[in-house]
Amino acid sequence: MSVKIEVWGDYGLFTRPEMKVERISYDVMTPSAARGIVESVFWHPGLAWYIDKIYVLSPIEFTNIRRNEVKSKASSSKARTVMNGGEAKLFISSREDIQQRTAMVLRNPRYVISAHFEMTSKANNSDNEGKFQEIVKRRLKKGQCYHNPYLGCREFPAKFKLYEGTEVPTVYADCDKDLGYMLYDMDYSDPKDIKPLFFRAVLKKGVLDLTDCEVHR
């Protein structure tokens, strides 16, 4: 069962993993970010979401902003020390660790996400595709969500609504764009060895088609 969701916001930041210090966004939303938005509207263990297409409705425009970040990470070794009865600081002091960094973000991004779900083995006997389809559409029409969706980073909230049109007019309908390799998702099959998955992203007439893309580890 499929659904189309229109999402937009003032800014978006879908960070390229190869950039270690200064954040630089991909040209368009990543498939994993799109799945996160859909799951924020409706998630259930009895279904699994898959992103089919991402339609780009606004021109790809970048702008630079400065963001407050911290230069430290929470320490797992300190947490273990405290768990074993020792003493250690488990917090990060933003006053001491604050650091301003430049980020290249997308300005006024707007997309239509085409996604479908499949039933999983965790579905109950009373669950069915028609039931889930109606729940998703009802939540989208009412603007309901489990948590506020965001465009890459939590400080860039996304607005959303059910897209009810039959055709999706894209901004690059007269050309193709090769966006290079892009993050597809993370492979969590082995929790001790989580690996990123990539694919060659080609924007064809303003549409990022994920139905038959080749995924590389």
List, run by run, the mean pLDDT of 10-residue segments along the chain (217 residues).
Answer: 93 90 92 96 94 97 87 76 78 74 94 95 89 94 95 95 93 93 91 91 95 87
What is the pTM assigned to this prediction? 0.87
Buried b (16+ CB within 10 A) or exposed e, 190-214: eeeeeeeebbebebeebbbbbeeee
Helical axes 129-142 vs 31-41, angle rounded to 10°: 90
Cα separation, 114 vs 125, whole angstroms: 27
Terminal-residue alpha carbon distance, the chain: 28
CATH number, domain 2-66+104-210, options 3.50.50.60, 3.30.70.2660, 1.10.10.10, 3.30.420.40:
3.30.70.2660
Strands 195-204 and 215-216: antiparallel
Domain locations in the chain as residue ranges: 2-66+104-210
Which tokens belong to 63? 């702008």
Residue 134 pLDDT: 93
Residue 94 pLDDT: 67
Looking from the CA of 137 toward its CB, the CA atoms found within 13 Å total: 12
Residue 88 pLDDT: 74
Q: Are 168 and 64 in contact (CB under 8 A)?
A: no
Strands 176-187 and 195-204: antiparallel
Cα separation, 211 vs 202, whole angstroms: 13
